[in-house]
Amino acid sequence: MVSAARERTCAQVAGRHVLAIQDTSALRVDEKGVGLSFHPVIAVDANAGTVLGLVETFVLKRRGGEREKRRQKTFEDKDSRRWLSGAQSAGALAEAGAACVTVIEDREGDIYECFAFKPANVEKLVRAAQDRRLADATSLFSKAETWGEAGRMTVALPATPGRKARRAELSVSFGKVEIKRPKPRTAADGLPATVSVTLVIGRETNAPQGEEPALWFLLTTHQVNDIADAHRIIGFYRLRWTIEQLFRTMKTKGFDVEALRQEQDGPLEKLVIAILIAALKVMQLVAERDGEAKRPLGDVFDPDDQPALERVCQTLEGKTAKQKNPHPKGSLAYAAWIFARLGGWTGYYGKPGPHRHDQRPHSVPRHQAWLEPPKCVNRVARKGGDRMVVPPLPISGVEGRAPRLKPPISPLAGEMPGRAEGGVKELDVVLGLDRYRAAPSFRRPFNQPLIRQLRTSPAPVRACSSRAGHPRRPAPGRARAGSHNRRRRVFRRARDRRP
């Protein structure tokens, strides 16, 4: 799966400046970080910011009790080796014809070996995590304090836990530094004595009161000659947020990968990789929903999938022009329109989000949990309808006197929960009074004395619109009464039939 996804990604990078963004996310770990994690590397267009696809992914199995042994391990045996492995896998993008490849990492990737052993055909951009020693006997952060401001820029900071989204004005400075080899390392490890990099600093100057100002120390192997280059480096790092959106799609706001219960060492890892590839495709479809980038369908799907998508599109289009797919066939936006319609979108460009219809039968008490509206509108129902669990009633013999109600969803295969077709129609069901006796949560009757009087009667009541038991048709030009009036008629006629 990974090799096929990589081939599709490499087919799109010719002549582009590509950002290879990598990061680690927990999958099934405890409070100490012991467990299963995954480390993807994704390709993003540096100029347009569009997701190109997957480059590589690593699955990490962290075991407890190894922290004390990290000093004795070589770099090749440590989990941090994945950052260098990700940069080496990004070299395949340069070999596929990319004009430039920049590997972007967060502070966890600030490792001296990753600078020293970086592939020659890629550049590196990482946020500094530690105050490193420099060749001139100073430290990294103290050296940066001596530099003057080179210029300013305004950026949009996304919302994070504990921080609202805002626009920040950054004071920018930059300069070259010589990072000295860390003390625990030696020349025997094959590490050079120093590594030359460029430090770009962005400090927020207008942070709101009570908010911590943004401060970025960015180390890069790119050449930074003027303020325009520094702005470009900060813009590249801001695109690192794309991989955070990928994790969000895989977890809380999408596939909920953390809730998987498959066994490790095989089934779980394969399923996570499949979800990772699917999540990237979802992000590509969402970004191209308006067709602004004019991306072809082959960037995400196989060419053999186009005839199937066109047949599905014919079943989703309506008769009017607004109900037709407005995007050209063979484009990625064409497929995005189809999947949005399958997900419950009405096809009209109004308020965002899928269109939901309340399918709750209001003439039936709401204490029956299986009559609640479906919680998810973005999945296709199984053939025969969704299976709904009916909670057992606390008295016996009820089902013999009152037949079970049908679930409020059409059993047609492939019908979307929440769509209009196959919804709830006019109810004509038999209600037994024992159901009301077994419903202590039903506390909204319009006439309490009448309810107490009816509870004493063992005879079931038929919910019909006439005394003879046949549904009464409304008069011409007269609308049907609401659920409240319908309940009033049911209890009134039940009272009149009593001996």
| CATH number of 192's domain | 3.90.350.10
- The whole domain housing 319 covers 293-345
Q: Is residue 316 part of a domain?
A: yes
- Number of domains comprising the chain: 3
Judgement on whether residues 316 and 216 belong to the same structural domain of the protein: no
- The pLDDT assigned to 450 comes to 54
Question: Which of 306, 322, 345 marks a domain boundary?
Answer: 345
Any residues with CB less than 8 A from the CB of 186 and at least 6 apart, and which?
none
Nearest-5° angle of CA 374, CA 379, CA 380?
Answer: 100
Judgement on whether residues 75 and 38 belong to the same structural domain of the protein: yes
Judgement on whether residues 223 and 250 belong to the same structural domain of the protein: no
Sign of CA dihedral 157, 109, 34, 3: positive
Judgement on whether residues 246 and 341 belong to the same structural domain of the protein: no
Amino acid at position 172, single letter:
V
- The pLDDT assigned to 457 comes to 56
Judgement on whether residues 137 and 212 belong to the same structural domain of the protein: yes
Judgement on whether residues 227 and 319 belong to the same structural domain of the protein: no
Q: Is residue 298 part of a domain?
A: yes
Judgement on whether residues 245 and 102 belong to the same structural domain of the protein: yes
Judgement on whether residues 244 and 101 belong to the same structural domain of the protein: yes
Name the stretches of the chain with pLDDT < 50: 353-446, 461-471, 479, 481
Judgement on whether residues 102 and 244 belong to the same structural domain of the protein: yes
- The pLDDT assigned to 229 comes to 94
Q: Is residue 337 part of a domain?
A: yes
Q: Is residue 210 part of a domain?
A: yes
Judgement on whether residues 22 and 97 belong to the same structural domain of the protein: yes
Judgement on whether residues 7 and 53 belong to the same structural domain of the protein: yes
- The pLDDT assigned to 185 comes to 76
Q: Is residue 391 part of a domain?
A: no
3-class DSSP assignment, residue 54:
strand
Judgement on whether residues 90 and 17 belong to the same structural domain of the protein: yes
pTM of the entire structure?
Answer: 0.68
Burial category of 18 from C-beta neighbours within 10 Å (exposed 0-12, middle 13-18, buried 19 and up): buried
Q: Is residue 487 part of a domain?
A: no
User: In whole angstroms, how far apart are CA 330 and each of 306, 349, 399, 488?
Assistant: 7, 22, 55, 57
Q: Is residue 476 part of a domain?
A: no
Q: Is residue 95 part of a domain?
A: yes
